[in-house]
């Protein structure tokens, strides 16, 4: 994995080069010589956060169930409980 460092000016002038470099590893973008941002490819980001490698919301919804999820309680409020009548008397 290659690490690349670019100044904000370099990044603004050639963002396509930064995207190409991000395929090889993280790209650090500096402001006044200090690291301010990191550009990662989506694959590197997902590896970092340990998330699913799903390419769409459909893939995410089709993921297998999480062990122990059936023990969770979910009791959403009924629609009638979300509002109350306006009080018009003053």
Q: What pLDDT is attached to residue 87?
A: 83
The count of other CB atoms within 10 Å of the CB of residue 27 is 23
The DSSP secondary structure of 50-78, one letter per residue, reads T----SSHHHHHTSPPPTTGGG----PPP
Helices (H) and strands (E) in the chain, counts: 4, 3
Q: In what order do the strands lie in the sheet with 27-31?
A: 4-7, 27-31, 34-39
Question: pLDDT 10s per residue in the chain (90 long)?
Answer: 889 999 999 999 999 999 999 999 999 999 999 999 999 999 888 888 776 555 666 766 666 666 666 676 777 777 766 677 788 887
The answer, as to whether pTM is greater than 0.75, is no
In angstroms, rounded to a whole number, what is the distance separating the alpha carbons of residues 38 and 28?
5
25 phi and psi angles, rounded to 5 deg: 165, 180
Spell out the domains of the chain, with CATH numbers in brackets. 4-67 (3.40.1620.10)
The count of other CB atoms within 10 Å of the CB of residue 45 is 14
């Amino acid at each position: 994995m290659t690490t690349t460092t670019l100044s904000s000016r370099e990044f603004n002038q050639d963002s396509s080069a930064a995207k190409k470099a991000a395929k090889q590893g993280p790209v650090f973008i500096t402001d006044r010589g200090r690291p301010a941002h990191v550009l990662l490819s989506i694959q590197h980001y997902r590896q970092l956060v340990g998330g699913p490698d799903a390419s769409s919301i459909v893939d995410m919804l089709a993921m297998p169930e999480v062990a122990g999820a059936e023990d969770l309680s979910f009791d959403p409020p009924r629609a009638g409980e979300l509002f109350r009548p306006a009080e018009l008397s003053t």
